[in-house]
Amino acid sequence: MKKTRIGIIGAGPSGLAQLRAFEAAKKEGHDVPEIVCIEKQSNWGGMWNYSWRTGVGKYGEPIHGSMYKYLWSNGPKECLEFSDYSFDEHFKKPISSYPPRPVLFDYIQGRIKKNNVRDYIRFDTTARWVSFDEESQKFTVVLDDLKIDKTYEEEFDYLIVASGHFSTPNMPYFKGIENFPGQVMHAHDFRGADPYKDQNLLIIGSSYSAEDIGVQCHKHGAKTVTLSYRSNPIGVNWPDGIKEVPLLTHFENDIAHFKDGTSEKYDAVIMCTGYQHKFPFLPDEMRLKTKNNLYPDNLYKGVFFNDLPRLIYLGMQDQYYTFNMFDTQAWVARDYMMGRYKLPSKKERRYDIDKWLKENDTLQSGNDHVDFQSAYIKDLLAISDYPDFNVDKVGVMFKEWLKDKDENILTYRDKTYQSVVTGTMAETHHTEWMDELDDSKERYLYQNESEEELSDT
């Protein structure tokens, strides 16, 4: 009998979670389907695979990456720890709660390198188009091998879309912006604070990107940072040099005017205005159409496309939980594809989705959001054998993290948390975050030891 074939689009944390889920089943002696993972970049890790490039890559494909230099985890690592691969197992010693990007990239790679899953991934390959045949119940995916400039097709019984949703900018227009003389760009193209030293910077938006890019630019020497909000200010205790103002209304050359009647001159503008869920390789009827929120409509259990559950989306939610959420999703998806988990009828699925949507509509505070996503994770854990972890305790940590940020946005990354996987308490980093200008893995992991060695000689 022909083996079931599974296609995965994307080898970021979500796609890698899916590969790992199948490897876990294989290790337990199960016969797993044939898997092909398609990745348009030359390496895995998705967002965590930093690229200095902006615009298009060397093969003319849109650059996926939105991460930048000097990016440190924006939540405690204890809230995203894989429950089947701890930070202790990887680093062999306690590390701080907020590592920089290269350290988290190393951690993601460490788990996946333990298996031979690289063999399943076709790098430098883009998914161009997907169609589904009702009769054969198979997907045909048109692929481009970018290296040799060759188009070909593959057939799959199940298709997993793990292509991320923080890559295609949502770029609003403001009157007069076309005559602004300085740089105007979206957070997607931000590659680090260096160009904004001594500048007066205007940031539009009031969510994660606005907060993190604003604080990074302040840390690395911007003269002033102004954050302009549409709905609600971030509202933390901002230090001198950062302030929040209501929404920008228009520009007159380099002067920005705001809703409260104030105006100010700026050198550069960064739109931290979020991203679009964009799937240029999917026809309209298979596309997930949603804003960035905690429960995208039409996904049963947050993953199965309700009109066509053989089409599975991973990681499409707005994210408090990240790596561990992708894992819990991937384990459930795997069990469905292997016939170990049966889906209820379409109507029952719809009913369940509506229940979550209704609940989502009632959420008010950050704490409510945390509780909602924690409940979602628990729901998934209950139906798969992904190693259980103390979700309630992680929820408490998320709430502490929100409080830490409120209290001091410049020092929250100096706090430490306890792992729910190993019980290990995080180390205090050797340098306070505000004084740490080097985000390399080498400095992060080894500076203490090399200083000790130096003082020994």
Q: CB within 8 A of 342, min separation 6: which ones? A: 336
- Rounded Cα distance between 382 and 403, Å, is 29
Interface with ligand FAD, residue 203, by CB under 6 A? no
Provide the 8-state DSSP code for 297: T
Under a CB-based contact definition with an 8 Å cutoff, are residues 190 and 169 in contact?
no
Interface with ligand FAD, residue 228, by CB under 6 A? no
Residue 11's binding partner out of ligand FAD, ligand NA7, none, with CB under 5 to 8 Å set by partner kind = ligand FAD
Helix axes 323-337, 13-27, angle to 10 degrees: 50
Q: Is 176 left (phi over 0), alpha (psi -120 to 50) or beta?
A: left
Q: Which of 116, 231, 455, 457 binds ligand NA7 (CB under 6 A)?
A: 231
Query: Which residues 167-226 are close enough to bind ligand NA7 by CB under 6 A?
Result: 170, 172, 187, 204-210
Burial 393-408 (b: 16+ CB within 10 A, else e): ebbebbeebbebbeee
Cβ 112 to ligand FAD, closest distance in Å?
12
Q: Which two tokens stand for residue 429?
A: 């980093």
How crowded is the C-beta side of 339, counted as CA atoms within 13 Å? 6
Helices (H), 37-92: 87-91
Cβ 125 to ligand FAD, closest distance in Å?
6
Interface with ligand NA7, residue 51, by CB under 6 A? no
Residue 369's binding partner out of ligand FAD, ligand NA7, none, with CB under 5 to 8 Å set by partner kind = none
- Rounded Cα distance between 309 and 311, Å, is 5
Q: Which two tokens stand for residue 313?
A: 């989306």
Cβ 319 to ligand NA7, closest distance in Å?
5
For the window 236-275, what string marks contact with ligand FAD as x by the rule CB under 6 A? ----------------------------------------
Cβ 340 to ligand NA7, closest distance in Å?
31
Q: Which of 162, 268, 272, 303 binds ligand FAD (CB under 6 A)?
A: 162
Contact residues toward ligand NA7 (CB under 6 A) are: 74, 166, 170, 172, 187, 204-210, 230-231, 247, 272-274, 292, 319
**Contacts to ligand FAD by CB under 6 A:** 9-15, 38-41, 46-48, 64, 66-67, 73-75, 80, 126-127, 162-164, 166-167, 281, 315, 319, 322
